[in-house]
Amino acid sequence: MQSKKIASQFLILCCAMLVSVAQAQKLPNVMILATGGTIAGTGATSTTTVGYTAAKIGVDALIEAVPELKKVANVRGEQVFQIASENMNNDYWLKLAKRVNVLLAQSDVDGIVITHGTDTIEETAYFLNLTVKSRKPVVIVGSMRPSTAISADGPINLYNAVLLAGSQDAIGKGVLVTLNDQINGAREVTKTNTSTLDTFKTPELGFLGYIQGSKPYFYRQSVRKNTVDTEFDISKLDTLPQVDIVYGYANMGPVALNAFVAAGAKGIIHAGVGDGSLASTVIPSIIDARKKGVVVVRSSRVGQGIVARNGEADDDKLDLVVSDTLNAQKARILLMLALTKTTNTKEIQAMYSKY
């Protein structure tokens, strides 16, 4: 009698294991690559939402804090590095992009989530949008409140990001950013508020979609080339050309631009007032920079709209490039990658119309 009972319990256990294996086989395999930020941050009290420390909690703890992840994906975690993202740099970007490409080439990885500080999410997203060589989903996620705060947004943002990275609908959409139940595209997403939960927006051109009730809903996608459709290959790069940003303002002079050129910048993004206007005080320095082979791109501090070629400056005569709608920090990323291929300003201008 006893042996029959043991046998039936064993049989039930085997069936349960078979069911859970079958369920696991149905779920997408999502890698979570952790890099730091507020989503991994801790504060002194549960009401500390500013003045906390970012980049304190490791990837395993982030995953353990959201047991619901296991219901939507088979997740594995990897700590690529642990920084507050104001300290993001080209070396970290190259390390991250190379790791993403190695993992996405594996058949047992269906999508990747990157946990990241919010300060430079928009830059990392665009860098990966130009350098990831796969159509599989890559979703970058952060949070505006540390994990220790009342109503921390990190756990639900992470859950949504894993959902999105495992979704068939996210395939081929380029690199995505999700916080606050909203889905933004890498090219246009930008941080619009220093501290509120709804800070990430795509002003004027709009969200790609939303996540509601554990389901992503897409309503549009970017028409600009990205990921597998770009000409950029970072697999053999160990550094990126130095490109700096000069900010435009009333009463500006050439000191900053001259200093960047003297320090060896290969490219300058001029974040001009209005439609990328150049103050007369900087034009001689721009002419000098061009003579030294430094590529100069006219962007705008405004943040939205197309910078018109030959609008506020004679770009043909000065041999300048215009940034299309890319803000200065994103125009810098494209120029860095462009300079790994060419210094020809006509070829570079074509890239700003393509990506």
CB 30 within 8 A of CB 165: yes
Query: Which DSSP category does 274 fall into?
Result: T
- Which CB sits closer to ligand DAS, 84 or 104? 84
Amino acid at 19: V
Residue nearest to ligand DAS (CB): 117
Catalytic residues, by residue number, are: 38
* Binding segment (CB under 6 A) for ligand DAS, from list 19-27, 68-76, 81-89, 222-230: 81-89
Instruction: Return the CA Rg of the chain.
Output: 23
Beta carbon nearer to ligand DAS, 117 or 137:
117
349 is a contact residue toward ligand DAS (CB under 6 A)? no
Q: Is 267 in the site for ligand DAS (CB under 6 A)?
A: no
Rounded to the nearest whole angstrom, what is the least distance from the CB of residue 232 to ligand DAS in the complex?
Answer: 25
- Residue number with CB closer to ligand DAS (200 or 355): 200
Is 142 or 254 the residue whose CB approaches ligand DAS more closely?
A: 142
Q: Which of 331, 342, 351, 323 is nearest to 127 (CA)?
A: 331
- Does position 86 interact with ligand DAS (CB under 6 A)? The reply is yes
Identity of the residue, 179 or 322, whose beta carbon is nearer to ligand DAS in the bound complex: 179
- Return the C-alpha torsion angle 184, 187, 188, 191, nearest 10: 70
- Binding part of the chain for ligand DAS, among 92-100, 113-121, 130-138, 181-189 by CB under 6 A, reads 113-121
Contact code string over 117-156 relative to ligand DAS, x by CB under 6 A: xxx----------------------x--------------
CB of 265 to ligand DAS, least distance (A): 25
Q: How many CB atoms lie within 10 A of CB 162?
A: 27
* Range 273-312, binding ligand DAS (CB under 6 A): none
Nearer to ligand DAS, 122 or 315 (CB): 122
In whole angstroms, how close is the CB of 118 to ligand DAS at the nearest point? 3
> Under a CB-based contact definition with an 8 Å cutoff, are residues 260 and 268 in contact?
yes
Contact 208, 173 (CB under 8 A): yes
What residues have CB less than 8 Å from 9, skipping those under 6 apart?
none
30, 31, 34, 37: residue in contact with ligand DAS (rule CB under 6 A): 37
Window of 115-123, 147-155, 200-208, 274-282 that interacts with ligand DAS by CB under 6 A: 115-123
Q: Which residues 160-189 are close enough to bind ligand DAS by CB under 6 A?
A: none
* Residue with Cβ nearer ligand DAS (122 or 324): 122
Number of residues that bind ligand DAS (CB under 6 A): 10
In angstroms, what is the minimal distance from the CB of 84 to ligand DAS? 4
Q: How far is the CB of 195 from ligand DAS (least distance, A)?
A: 9
The distance of Cα 238 from the centroid of its chain, to the nearest Å, equals: 20
Phi, psi angle pair for 22, to nearest 5°:
-60, -40
Query: How many CB atoms sit inside 10 A of residue 264's CB?
Result: 10
Which one of residues 31, 34, 38, 74 is an interface residue with ligand DAS (CB under 6 A)?
38
One residue of 80, 84, 245, 296 binding ligand DAS per CB under 6 A: 84
Which residues from 42-61 bind ligand DAS, rule CB under 6 A? 54
Q: Which residues of the shown chain bind ligand DAS in the complex (CB under 6 A)?
A: 37-38, 54, 84-86, 117-119, 142
